[in-house]
Every structure is written in C-alpha cells, then in structure tokens.
Structure 1
C-alpha cells in the first residue's frame, strides 16, 4: 500500500491512492492537485549516507569509504512533494541527490543483517540537495551543505516494506526540466540496507520513523532557479520539486 500525508481543507490527513485521486482518512475523495503534500511521515532521527555509491565517490574524486559515512539531518530541511527549495544568491553550485529513503518501523538495538528487513516500515523517495560551496571535507558535510530550510524534498508516498520484493534492485533517476540527468540502481550501493541497519543499531537505538537516506549514484550536476527537478525510485514514487531564488522570500 502507498500512503501519504496531505493538508486539505485546513486539516492534515493520511491518504491513499484511489483511481488517480486521493482517498482521505475521512473517506473523502479529492484531486491530487487540490492538496498540499506533506512528508509521508514526520521524520524522527534522519541518518544520511555520504558516498554510498562508488561511481558518485569517483565523480567527486574521492575514494570509496571503508565504513559508512553518516551525518544527521534536521527537521527544518524536509518538505513535501510539489514543494519549493530555496537556492541562495551566494551559492554557486547546488545539486540534487536522488535517494531511496528507508523508514524504520519499531524500536530496535543490535540488529543483525539477516534480520534487518523485519524492522523496516516502508520506503520513500528523497532529494537531498547539496550546497557544495560549503563542503568542509568529504566525510563531514557541515550544516550549510545539508541542513538548509527546505533542502530535502521527501515523498510523496510511503510504500509498505512488504510490497517491495527487493529494495536492493531498484532503478533511480533524476530529470531536470524533463531531461534525464542521473540514473543508477540501488544494487550499486557500497553498504546495503541490512548493513546500514546493523551498523547504526550497533551503537545506538533506532526508533519508529527514524529514516535512513541511503545515498545517491553519479550524475549530480548544478541546478538553477526555475528548474523543475523530478527524482524517482522504481516502484516507490515520483517526487517533484521546484527551485526558487532569494527574491521569492521577504525575510532573508
């Protein structure tokens, strides 16, 4: 099943797909274009992987890591499907990152790889924009690179884990203004999903609605104000986002 969170008529609802429209938790049927899309869950702790695809590490001229490179993301970074991401005037290089998002389903600690999938609630799509001007070093993106307001579109759907036969064999694509600019497959992750869950849970507790952003393949290029960016993960969803400039904001 695919579920979403939306705002409609002054209230927040859970929704499911319904014959090309949305069926709300109160039974009401509405058109997709008439709602405001929220993130499919309210993210708790969010773990983001750096350089988890060897081809992406190579295009940045970095060696592939020998253990997961993980950093945290703050709640202010996340916006929903059809949202707007601000491109500051002082940034010269801002690029998308299409990623499979893994949503944890229960409180766990010390999970073994062979049992990891049973603790996943579902999957979604994230576009984890990076502001490369402010990168400190390859293994520790600082706050200005990965935690700006609205810099991580997330959604539109959460797909139940049981509906995805093999999350380690899904195609990822990004289109900018209808042009294909990035493609890859989750099969090329350096550290697969079970390994990441085992690694993280070995030293800290994971909880329901924690999210793991599993990294992006090669193909990240600079974007500009006005670009419409579509990140898609096979079988999970199609996430649309538009880049806007500082002039759209009254308070800078």
Structure 2
C-alpha cells in the first residue's frame, strides 16, 4: 500500500501525541516458526510505520512519506476513531492469554475477544454505550450524535464499572475531565459514540467530544478496553483553546 494510505495515517496520527500502535495477537498456547515469522513481520511493519511518523513530527507541516506495506498474515486496520494503527493476527499460538507488553509506541496484547454494544445497562430507560470482556464491564451514557450535540457532563457520564472477577459493581463513580484543572471544562455540549460495534472483537473504545463553551475549550476523550484488560485506558486528545 502506498501514498494515499500512509498520507491518511499521518493525517490521523500527526495531531494526536498519545497515539498508540497496537499489535493484537489472539489465542493462548505456545508454538512455532510460521506463527513466529508472522508475528515478527507484523512487528517490523508497525515499527517502520512508527519510525516514519516520528520523522514527520519534526519536519515542516505538509511533509509526507511513502511506504510499502505488505501484511501477508493478519489484518491491517487504520482506525481514525481510536487513533490507532493495528495489525490483528488470528489463531496465532504464541502467547498466553492476557499478555500485555509496551515497546515504545507499540503495544503487544493477547487474549480472548470482547464486545461493544448499546444497552440500558442501569435500567433507567436510557441507552448506554457498553464495553465488556471476560473480566470487566464499563458503560457510559449515550449522548447526542456528531451532527446533533447535547448537554455533556464528564462528572456524571460513567454509568457503571463492574469487576466480574470480584463481583463488584460501582454505579456512577466520581469522575471528570478537567483541562488545566479548570472546573468549567468538565461540561458543555457534545456527544458519545462507540468507535466499533461487535461481539468477539479484539478491542473497542467509547469516543467523547466536549465543547466546554463557558471555558472556550473543546476536546476529545477515548475510553478503551481490550479483550484481556481489567482496566480502562483513557486519553484526552485534540484539546483546542486551552
């Protein structure tokens, strides 16, 4: 793949300093050369993309790179909604379930699948956005749409966090996003959405956009859950006006 794909990747990644490149490997046993070769090729592909992006960070605006990307095993996914570049390897018998290792910008993870769906998780009559795997459930209020913003308050938007292993539910936990520690950046107008729907998927996230009109600040937040994670990753990005 050349030109247009890599240009698109850079356009997605260049504005987000917290971008993570994800290499997702599935299945729990230890095995041999074909799987090992596929894994090494996928890892080298992501390292090449990462190196090109890092070079562009220090060059003039509008700079470009052209890369040849050949993914013979697995599936390459460029997710603008999650701000991630992924290679997913199916049925790769190399790692135990739950392995998670960060190497620079590259995250290697393995495990069973997870689900991302809509449901009235707390029974209040309103639809929620849900991320769920074998050990954790996380739900956020469904708010507005990208074309129709509604009131969004980060201090009360998390509906439920459930630790399945310990059978502990935390309803409406204390939370909030405060830019530069300013209270009036925690609320405004905006929307929430799932970046990917599905059952038996490797990962997904909930995207939140907030325009904190009183503070004249706007930002995006992503809440991410992987197949084997027992925690939620949160990243605030594209902060404008702070």
- TM-score when normalising by structure 2: 0.29
Does 1 or 2 have the higher relative contact order (CA < 8 Å, sep 6+)?
A: 1
- TM-score when normalising by structure 1: 0.28
| Structure number with larger C-alpha Rg | 2
